[in-house]
């Protein structure tokens, strides 16, 4: 693999990581909550996609992929709403600024993560399940040589989704409500924003993006197993923090950087230390710019 191919592969990897990182950064931007259960939503979405693709196996590959992915995104959105309403909403209005009340949602997120992971093992067993090879073809790309069709589809889909997300956040009522809620929840409520609905929609949107990343990731290179969310979830969280937690553009940039760095490291003699270098880069960036590459520091009144 030459440098150009490594860069292209890194961009596709980074695009998938960015789709998952967007869920972390959107929830944090609205609630100031690190939703550690998001990596398990990614894993459950991969199972949703696997079963839906099996059901749609009698149709053409294009129809199966498109319809299966959309249905998996819908199922993931419902799961995200259930997680928010069952685990986080009861804690949201308890008020107070003590250290215990700040830590409680974080512990709850970790508990939901463990619950979903063990539920997947109970329902689906720990045995890895292969995805159907519906995107196994190759395409000749000038300057890159032979490239897997799946990676071209991943990159195009990720770019289109990210552009659509920017439009949603910047140009729609929901996006304006989400930004108002992020700035001041009480003021947003006084201005008529239905905060509970906006928060649920944020969880649903972030979970659906994780589902898109999960299906594309598995179609390209991975089997499905209950602990698959740990690695990709960790990298996505690092991407969100690296780009600036709470910044949608930062999550995209962080994901792409991690993907490219990982593939370039694989060209060296230290290919086994990808995650080590990723965390080193994260530490250096946070030492120089604690808010992340595109994040901003806000003064919190107490």
Print pLDDT tens along the chain (302 aa). 678 888 888 888 898 899 899 889 988 888 888 898 999 999 999 999 999 999 998 888 889 999 999 999 999 999 999 999 998 888 876 655 555 556 788 888 999 999 999 999 999 999 999 988 877 767 777 766 777 777 888 888 888 888 888 888 888 988 889 888 888 888 888 888 888 899 999 999 999 999 999 998 898 877 899 999 988 888 899 899 888 888 888 888 999 999 988 888 888 877 777 788 878 888 888 888 888 888 765 555 44
CB atoms within 10 A of CB 93: 7
Q: Angle at which helices 228-243 and 38-55 pack, to 10 degrees?
A: 130
Say if residues 42 and 233 touch (Cβ distance below 8 Å). yes
Within the chain, residue ranges assigned H as helices are 3-31, 38-55, 61-83, 89-92, 99-124, 149-171, 173-183, 185-190, 195-221, 228-243, 248-265, 274-288
Task: Specify the pTM.
Answer: 0.89
Residue 253 phi/psi, 5-degree rounding, is -65, -45
In this structure, what token pair is assigned to residue 226?
Answer: 């209950």
Q: Which one, of 223, 289, 286, lies nearest residue 49 by Cα? A: 223
Say if residues 150 and 7 touch (Cβ distance below 8 Å). no
Each domain of the chain, given as residue ranges in start order, spans 9-227
Residues 213 and 233: their CA atoms lie apart, in Å, by: 11
In this structure, what token pair is assigned to residue 82?
Answer: 């259930």
pLDDT for the residue numbered 302? 47
Sign of the torsion formed by the C-alpha atoms of 155, 116, 48 and 69: negative
């Amino acid at each position: 693999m030459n440098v150009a191919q490594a860069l292209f592969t890194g961009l596709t990897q980074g695009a998938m990581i960015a789709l998952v990182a967007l869920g972390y950064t959107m929830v944090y931007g609205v609630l100031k909550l690190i939703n550690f259960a998001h990596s398990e939503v990614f894993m459950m979405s991969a199972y949703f996609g696997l079963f839906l693709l099996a059901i749609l196996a009698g149709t053409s590959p294009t129809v199966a992929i498109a319809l299966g992915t959309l249905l998996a995104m819908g199922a993931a959105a419902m799961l995200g709403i259930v997680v928010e309403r069952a685990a986080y909403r009861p804690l949201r209005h308890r008020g107070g600024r003590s250290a215990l009340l700040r830590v409680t949602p974080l512990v709850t997120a970790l508990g939901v993560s463990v619950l979903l992971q063990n539920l997947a093992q109970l329902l689906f067993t720990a045995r890895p399940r292969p995805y159907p090879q519906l995107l196994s073809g190759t395409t000749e790309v000038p300057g890159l040589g032979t490239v897997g069709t799946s990676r071209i589809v991943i990159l195009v889909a990720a770019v289109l989704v990210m552009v659509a997300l920017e439009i949603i956040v910047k140009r729609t009522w929901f996006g304006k409500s989400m930004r108002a809620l992020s700035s001041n929840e009480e003021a947003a409520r006084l201005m008529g924003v239905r905060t509970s609905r906006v928060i649920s929609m944020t969880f649903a949107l972030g979970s659906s993006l994780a589902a898109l990343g999960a299906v594309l990731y598995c179609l390209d290179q991975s089997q499905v197993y209950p602990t698959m969310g740990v690695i990709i979830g960790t990298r996505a969280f690092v991407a969100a923090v690296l780009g600036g937690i709470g910044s949608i553009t930062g999550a995209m940039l962080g994901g792409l950087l991690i993907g490219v760095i990982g593939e370039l490291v694989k060209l060296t003699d230290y290919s086994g230390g990808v995650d080590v270098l990723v965390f080193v880069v994260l530490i250096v960036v946070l030492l120089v710019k604690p808010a992340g590459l595109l994040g901003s520091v806000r003064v919190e009144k107490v």
